[in-house]
Amino acid sequence: MVFYRFWDILIIVSTTLAAIKIPIQLGSGYSRWADLVFIDWAIMLIFILDVPINFFRPLSTGGRSIPTKRERAVHYLKGWFIIDFLAAFPFQLLFGSPFFQLARLIKLARVAKLMHHRRRRPFQHSTLFRLSTFFFWLGLVTHWLSCGWLELSAAAGVPEASRTYLRALYWCVTTLTTVGYGDIIPLTNAQTIYTMFVMVLGVGMYGYVIGNVANLLANIDMARAHYLSNMERLSTFLKYRHIPVALQKQIYDYYAYLWEHRMGYDESTVLSQLPAALQSEVSIVLKQDYIEKIPFLKGAYQELIRDMAFELRPVVFTPGTYVFRAGDIGRHLYFINHGQVEVIAADGKTIYNTLKEGDFFGEIALLSSRPRTASVRTLDYCDMYTIDRDTFEKVLGHYPEFAKHVREIAKTRLEKE
Residues in contact with ligand CMP by CB under 6 A are 330, 343, 352-353, 361-365, 372-374, 376, 413, 416-417
| CA pair distance 73, 27, nearest whole angstrom | 39
Nearer to ligand CMP, 92 or 373 (CB): 373
| Min dist. Cβ of residue 417 to ligand CMP (A) | 6
In the bound state with ligand CMP, the residue whose beta carbon lies nearer, of 167 and 377, is 377
Task: Specify the amino acid at residue 10.
Answer: L
> Hey, which residues does 322 pair with through a beta bridge?
377
- Least distance CB 400 / ligand CMP (angstroms): 20
Question: Least distance in Å: CB of 274 to ligand CMP?
Answer: 32
State in angstroms the smallest separation of the CB of 392 from ligand CMP. 11
* DSSP-derived secondary structure letter, 184: S
Nearer to ligand CMP, 291 or 376 (CB): 376
Nearer to ligand CMP, 146 or 391 (CB): 391
- Report how far residue 23's alpha carbon sits from residue 11's, in angstroms, rounded to the nearest whole number: 18
Q: Tell me phi and psi for residue 52, to 5 degrees.
A: -65, -35
Task: Between 71 and 417, name the residue whose CB sits nearer to ligand CMP.
Answer: 417
CB of 328 to ligand CMP, least distance (A): 8
Q: How far is the CB of 298 from ligand CMP (least distance, A)?
A: 20
CB atoms within 10 A of CB 308: 24
Residue number, 313 or 413, with CB nearest to ligand CMP: 413
Amino acid at 108: L
CA atoms within 13 A on the CB side of 60: 5
Nearest distance in Å: CB 124, ligand CMP: 41
Nearest residue (CB) to ligand CMP, 152 versus 365: 365
Nearest-angstrom CA–CA distance, 301 and 400: 11
Q: How far is the CB of 391 from ligand CMP (least distance, A)?
A: 15
Q: What angle do CA 366, 370, 372 make, to 5 degrees?
A: 80
C-alpha 2/C-alpha 215 separation (Å) is 33
CA distances from 209 to 138, 206, 212 (A): 11, 5, 5
Instruction: Give min distance, CB of 370 to ligand CMP, in A.
Output: 7
Q: What is the CA radius of gyration of the chain?
A: 34
**SS3 assignment, position 181:** coil
Pairing of strands 313-317, 382-388: antiparallel
| Complex with ligand CMP: residue 40 or 359, whichever CB lies closer | 359
Residue count of the chain: 417
- H helices of 79-164, in order, are 81-88, 91-95, 108-120, 126-155
DSSP code per residue over 318-351 = -TT-EEE-TTSPP-EEEEEEES-EEEE-TTSS-E
Tell me whether residue 49 or residue 326 sits nearer to ligand CMP (CB atom). 326
Per-residue burial over 6-25, b = 16 or more CB atoms within 10 Å of its CB, e = otherwise: ebbeebbebbbbbbbbbbbb
